[in-house]
Amino acid sequence: MKKITLLSVGLLFMANFIFTACRCIEIEFSVPVTDITLNKSTLELVVGETETLAAVVLPENATNRSVRWSSSDAGIASVNNNGVVTAVSVGTAIVTATTADGNFTAVCEVTVIPISVTGVTLNRNTLGLYTGASETLIATVMPENATNQNVVWSSSNTAAATVNSSGVVTAVSSGTAIITVRTIDGNFTDVCTVTVTEPYISDSPYGVVIDGIRWATRNVDEPGTFADKPEDFGMFYQWNRNTTVWNSMPADGDTWASANDPCPDGWRVPTAAELQSLIAAGSIWGTRYGVAGHFFGTAPYQIFLPAAGFLNTSGALSGTGEEGNYWSDGRNAGIHISTLRITDNSATMSPHIRTFGFSVRCVSE
């Protein structure tokens, strides 16, 4: 019995030692990668678009789940470390995801398609030119980021007006032509009707009568003189002053005093009603020997008012070639003076403060 007891104690001790030893040993096992898949095998993007590809590393409990991304042509489609694909230019590229463990790969074919054109517009839909004159039409393709911005130009009547590949319209002879711009992508079009007339503008010192009012054919230049040519800008004047010396203080008065009138003898600054009658006679924007402006009336009873621009309240020149402003005598006009304002698409009466510098076109007394 005693021996049995000692043996039992020894066995118990050994069993406890073995159990304790086993608990102190920690064994770590690495789970290798067996495959990788992507959520998409093909992808179509418009230039500039992005999309994120999702990589699934198998098995799900793989120890090293790191992935490298690459593109066969980053100039077409690039990819960052997070699988974000960016469409760069039209074409096809292969985006590859590669596991760090085992170099397993999965690919996605990315096709980058162009941004389609949706329309085109011209900066002008009507244009008046005299023979020999030219003006550039500007075509805006929409959307602004459309891939193919190319357009072609054509004229319905090249005997009247031609157009080159840059949209420059040249007046050839009297008549009408339809200038068409067409997009290469989508064949969208817009048109401008060009009316060409002979460049007859009377330079008579006696002026031109339009609706019963005799208008000077040129702007006032130095006080008491006319400019040499109808397209010459002449000088800029502040209201109720006959000097070109700048004055930041507005002139007094309810009407332009005759003593301050810069027009030559026998002529005067027109009234607002007379300027309004000139507008009513009809006008068209065009160019005369390269100078933009408005033709008023109907040839041969027609005058040209150049878009000379204006001097702002600090005396700085602005708007040349884009607009012109012409003073009225301002009678009973108050602080603001009615002026004739011309732009590429309108001829209207507009009120302005007296310290601007505007052109003067005289009428006969």
Query: What does the DSSP assignment read for 113-173?
Result: EPPPP-EEEES-SEEEEETT-EEE--EEEESTT-S---EEEEES-TTTEEE-TT-EEEE-S
Residue 356 CB: number of other CB atoms within 10 A? 21
Cis peptide, bond prior to residue 300, ω within 30 of zero:
yes
Task: Identify the sign of the CA torsion 256, 345, 126, 131.
Answer: positive
Amino acid 319: pLDDT: 96
Contact 164, 176 (CB under 8 A): no
Amino acid 38: pLDDT: 97
**CA neighbor of 194 nearest in space, from 229, 159, 245, 244:** 159
3-class secondary-structure state, position 162: strand
Amino acid 202: pLDDT: 61
Which tokens sit at 29? 């096992």
Alpha helices in the chain (DSSP H): 2-23, 272-280
Going by C-beta distance under 8 Å and a sequence separation of 6 or more, which residues neighbour residue 261?
A: 242, 268, 269
Amino acid 152: pLDDT: 98
Contact 71, 94 (CB under 8 A): yes
pTM exceeds 0.85, yes or no: no
CA distance 117 to 275: 44
Amino acid 4: pLDDT: 41
DSSP conformation class of 271? P
CA distance 108 to 104: 14
So what CATH class is 35-113?
mainly beta
Contact 122, 138 (CB under 8 A): yes
In this structure, which amino acid lies at residue 148? N
User: What is the CATH number assigned to the segment(s) 119-197?
Assistant: 2.60.40.1080
Contact 55, 38 (CB under 8 A): yes
Report the first-to-last Cα separation within the chain, whole angstroms.
153
Which tokens sit at 84? 């974000």
Name the segment(s) of the chain with CATH classification 2.60.40.1080.
35-113, 119-197
Pairing of the two strands 126-130 and 189-197: parallel
- What is the mean pLDDT for each group of 10 consecutive residues in the chain (365 residues)? 42 46 59 96 94 96 96 97 96 97 97 95 92 89 94 97 96 92 97 84 77 96 95 96 92 94 97 97 85 86 94 94 96 84 93 96 96
Amino acid 21: pLDDT: 46
Which tokens sit at 77? 């489609």
CA distance 286 to 196: 10
Amino acid 289: pLDDT: 80
CA distance 223 to 227: 10
Amino acid 298: pLDDT: 80
